[in-house]
Structure 1
Amino acid sequence: MIIDTADLDAKSSYKLLIGSVLPRAIAWVSSRSAQGVGNIAPVSFFTVVGRLPPVVSISLQPRSDEVTLKDTFVNIRDTGEFVVNMASIGQAHEVHRSAFEFDTEVDEFEALGLKKADSEVVSAPRIAGAPIALECVVDRIIPMPPLPDHVVWGRVERIHIRDDLYLPGGRVDVGALGVIGRLAAEYSLVDNIFTTPLPDELVERLLVTRSARLDERPSDYSPIDTADWSPSGSTTGSK
């Protein structure tokens, strides 16, 4: 099948992108409004764009109404600061819950039962317990018309790494992170590591093996088929 992207609406395009660009790292973004209200949101349109200085990017869609700007974006725009926290399997449910749309005046740290940790150079708090956190100041904001989408580049000013993860030579012990990623509208635990080449017989077996589900749902289940999913990156329905 060949799909002409000119024929797609935003929802259809989003479905194809999140089902094709896999796995996606999750930026668990914490920010604070100009009024001091804490906000947390998972963003999987996330990557590294520069090394010196280190720069990361996050792409933010509007709320599920496709019009209202998300609190995360408004906070970043108004304060020029945010923190990218990296989440591990122990925080997976809180990551998911932070995708729900809370009212602007709600401090999401309190709503989610998460503790704040002080940052060093930005006013936005870190998420306590996150194994790695990147304190960022805004480098640039790029509008993506005709939709009310925006790309934010953040210059990383401080990197917080849990002591046991920081190895001699400046390497991160990635095998000890228990990091989670995004697969379409679901999550994946990174629990295996390899270098190439792998044995041919192993590759052949893996090619015809469906990924194992950790939640005991049917193998073809997807939240995209439920009423709680929206093409905004937000989750609707009950928190």
Structure 2
Amino acid sequence: MAGDPAGPLRHRVIHTDAVDGRERYQLLTSLVVPRPIGWVSTRSASGVPNVAPFSFFSAVASSPMLVSLSIGTRGGVAKDSLRNILDQGAFCVNVVTEAQLEAMNRTSASLPPDDDEFAFAGLSVAEAETVDAPYVADCPAVLECEFHKHVDLGDSGGLVLGEVKGVRLDPELTIVEGSAFVDTQELRPVGRLWGSAYTLLGEVRVLPRP
């Protein structure tokens, strides 16, 4: 039992070089949880808007304001989102809320490059102000990002760093007094677990730092 004063746990150690890629993915995505979902919207070179969810997404730094996004390959070919970011130099990250969970899931479908995922999922598209990229019009929080750096991850695809040039917020969202924090309980973000499992925001505890 965790925390048993009788002694340390007798862990089972899995050597990651002894398991295949599928098992490594399953271990990683079931332990690094919950993960924020980067619901990424881009535009193709021919002008077609694209939107797709990625859960290998995180904040990196605040000055400059950077986010990271890991985008895998499909059949050894770069996914549309990665190709669009590299071609166009911009993207938006739409914060997925409980109300948008089903729509977000629909955009995970594999469609041909010239198909409009916004239309497929029944989403309205709007244009960002600080970068040349589309965003989900009714999303309450959006990060408008300029391409910053790409790291080739081989078979795993690519890691993209984006610099946040603008933050769009629903004016109805509460900003915590005396700060720039957005009230997370009002935002109601969704987190990714493993496989097809997601988590909704539950109890929030605020602990004073020692």
Which one of the candidate residues 11, 18, 41 is aligned to 2:22? 11
Q: Which residue of 2 aligns with 1:154?
A: 162
Contact 1:165–1:174 (CA under 8 A) maintained in structure 2: no
AA of the residue aligned to 2:56: F
Contact 2:42–2:91 (CA under 8 A) maintained in structure 1: yes
Gaps in structure 1 of 5+ consecutive residues: 198-239
Q: Which residue of 2 aligns with 1:171?
A: 181
Q: Which residue of 2 aligns with 1:119?
A: 128
Q: Counterpart of 2:73 in 1: which secondary structure? A: coil
Q: Counterpart of 1:165 in 2: which secondary structure? A: coil
Contact 1:25–1:44 (CA under 8 A) maintained in structure 2: yes
Which one of the candidate residues 90, 100, 106 is aligned to 2:109? 100
1:196 deviates by 4.4
Once residues 191 and 35 of structure 2 are traced to their aligned partners in structure 1, the CA distance between those partners, rounded to angstroms, is 5
Deviations 1:109-139 (A, max 9, x none): 1111100122012221110111110010111
Once superposed, what is the RMSD of the aligned Cα atoms? 1.3
Q: Which residue of 2 aligns with 1:222?
A: none
Q: TM-score, normalised by structure 2?
A: 0.89
- Deviating above 6 A after TM superposition, structure 1's stretches of 4 or more consecutive aligned residues are none
Aligned residues: 194
AA of the residue aligned to 1:11: R
Q: Counterpart of 1:121 in 2: which secondary structure? A: coil
Deviations 1:127-185 (A, max 9, x none): 0111110010111000112x151000000000001112242432211111111000112
Q: TM-score, normalised by structure 1?
A: 0.78
Once residues 83 and 19 of structure 2 are traced to their aligned partners in structure 1, the CA distance between those partners, rounded to angstroms, is 28
Residue 134, structure 1, aligned to residue 143, structure 2? yes
Contact 2:107–2:120 (CA under 8 A) maintained in structure 1: no
Once residues 126 and 170 of structure 2 are traced to their aligned partners in structure 1, the CA distance between those partners, rounded to angstroms, is 13
Q: Which residue of 2 aligns with 1:192?
A: 203
Gaps in structure 2 of 5+ consecutive residues: 1-11
AA of the residue aligned to 2:15: D
1:195 deviates by 2.8
Q: How does 1:1-239 map to 2 (within 5 A)?
A: 1-63=12-74, 65=75, 67-145=76-154, 147-167=155-175, 168-169=177-178, 170-185=180-195, 186-196=197-207
1:76 deviates by 0.5
Q: Counterpart of 2:101 in 1: which secondary structure? A: helix
Percent sequence identity is 36
Contact 2:38–2:94 (CA under 8 A) maintained in structure 1: yes
